[in-house]
Homo-oligomer: A and B are copies of this chain.
Amino acid sequence: MRTATRRAGGDALCYPPDDRYPAPMTTAIIVHGGAGPARSDDDAEAARQGCLLAARAGYAVLARGGSALDAVEEAVRTLEDDPQFNAGIGSCLTADGDVEMDASLMEGATLRAGAVALVRGVRNPIRLARCVMERTPHLFLAGEGAMRLAREQGLPILSPAELITPRALARWREAKAKGAASPSGGTVGAVALDAHGHLAAATSTGGMNGKWSGRIGDTPVIGAGTYADDAGGAASATGHGEAILRVGLTRMVVAQLCAGAEAQSAAEVGLGALARIGGEGGVIVIDRSGRVGCAFNTARMSHAFIDATGAEGSGFLP
């Protein structure tokens, strides 16, 4: 394992990128399909395959010289459209039986970001998060204000019948019977490094099964669910949103990368902080050299990557 160059001073925030660090001429992507409770082996294998397809979709963007931001948006859009994941089609339901989705993305070159929360019916919340970043004076829009932007931008809006899957409905009935919200897993995310040396991260979710209407988790929160800074790396988180918010998981992981940690080590330090407050979840990471990292403390976390050497990898067990 190579040791990352340690930045003099070890600032927690390294933007703007320091030209002492030459941009790597390599690309990498890692995606996740959520950290969560054990599913059947068949379900886990299907989620692994879904992640691999999304990683390839994002990698195709990188391979033709596209930006990391375009790559993570494409990978997450692919996962939102796959009904087995808890994001876009297949999102879990609130206690009231509605779908309220959250998403965010961030560009490491500029620290620009976009986020949406509590959006209903929008087929691809990650596209709406990008619209917030690029077409509004704001970073974070929620609820009806976000929906208004979706309509203005002509984004596809689905009916509940198109968005809700039989599986999501069955899980909602279980939660309803228990009378409690439960971590449902299946949040999706992607992190990429492009050939220009730029990093990006994106995350999207339907949230927690049976959550209170109006609940916002870590996914749309910059520094909790998503963070990217070209001077260190980028990360996307999944798991118990309330715990991830309390530790500021991705902001912390990227601060570790800025201080010289490599991707896997930074992911593990972040998970250690999450575990110290009893939180369960996982995080995927790419550092500025293109090394990928993935750590989680749940039963399973489906993930797939194509690393700086072009090698594919995927799995769901620790």
What residues of chain A have their CB less than 8 Å away from a CB belonging to chain B? 10-13, 15-16, 106, 111-113, 117-118, 136-146, 148-149, 180-181, 211-217, 221-224, 227, 241-242, 245-248, 251-252, 255-256, 259, 269, 273, 276-277
Contacts and interface: CB of A to CB of B under 8 A. Distances in A.
A242 B139 contact: yes
Contacts of A212: 136-138, 141, 145, 149
Nearest to A216: B140
**Among the interface residues A11, A216, A276, which one has the most CB atoms of the partner chain B within 10 A?**
A216
B138 A211 contact: yes
B145 A215 contact: yes
A10 B216 CA distance: 31
B217 A181 contact: no
Grouping DSSP codes into helix (H, G, I), strand (E, B) and loop, the A interface class, with mixed when no group exceeds half, is: mixed
Contacts of A180: 137
**Among the interface residues A16, A136, A248, which one has the most CB atoms of the partner chain B within 10 A?**
A248
A242 B104 CA distance: 14
**Among the interface residues A12, A137, A259, which one has the most CB atoms of the partner chain B within 10 A?**
A12
Contacts of A141: 212, 214-216
A113 to B, nearest CB: 6
Given A12-B256, A214-B148, A143 B140 contact: no
Contact of A245 (B16, B222, B252): B222
Nearest to A222: B245
13 contacts: A12-B12, A12-B255, A12-B269, A111-B247, A137-B212, A138-B211, A139-B245, A142-B216, A143-B144, A144-B213, A146-B214, A222-B248, A223-B251
A13 B12 CA distance: 12
Nearest to A251: B248
Contacts of A241: 139
Nearest to A227: B248
Contact of A145 (B112, B149, B213): B213
A16 B113 CA distance: 31
Nearest to A145: B214
B13 A273 contact: yes
A251 B244 CA distance: 13
A256 B242 CA distance: 23
Contacts of A139: 241-242, 245-246
B12 A252 contact: yes
Contacts of A148: 213-214
Nearest to A133: B242
A212 to B, nearest CB: 6
B142 A142 contact: yes
A143 B227 CA distance: 25
Contacts of A217: 140
B12 A214 contact: no
A112 B246 contact: yes
